[in-house]
Homo-oligomer: A and B are copies of this chain.
Amino acid sequence: MAVVAKWMCDRDNSMFDSKKDADAYDKMLELAEQFTELLQRQIPEVDEVKAEEFGIFLAKNKEAIISACKGKTEALAELHEGGDSNVHSLAAEG
């Protein structure tokens, strides 16, 4: 028997083996939440679940967003091709 340290992100109770991974995930969700709220403020009638998924999608692809904002706008155009399997599966219920 052994006791193993785990780290939980209390935003959605996701579990991680390392604090580093848990922190990164927590930070991603924090950014996602801000993007979602921004979208909801600008387009109040947007579907709540889809707004959350969009926020997560942006947060997971923040490097591409930074590139685009710095002038490499094609970085955003490339996003839909590679896709993000995790976001897609969340989006399945619509």
Instruction: Report if A47 contacts B (CB, 8 A).
Output: yes
Interface of A is mostly: helix
Q: A46-B46, A66-B66 are in contact. Are A41 and B80 (CB under 8 A)?
A: yes
Chain B residues within an 8 Å CB radius of A71: 27
When chains A and B are docked, how far (Å) is the Cα of A41 from the Cα of B34? 20
A88 to B, closest residue via Cβ: B42
CB A65 to nearest CB in B, in angstroms, measures 6
* Contact with A68, one of B34, B57, B76 (Cβ below 8 angstroms): B34
A43 at the interface (CB under 8 A from B): yes
Give bound CA distance, A50 to B68, whole Å: 21
Question: How far apart sit A34 and B74, CA to CA, in the bound complex (Å)?
Answer: 8
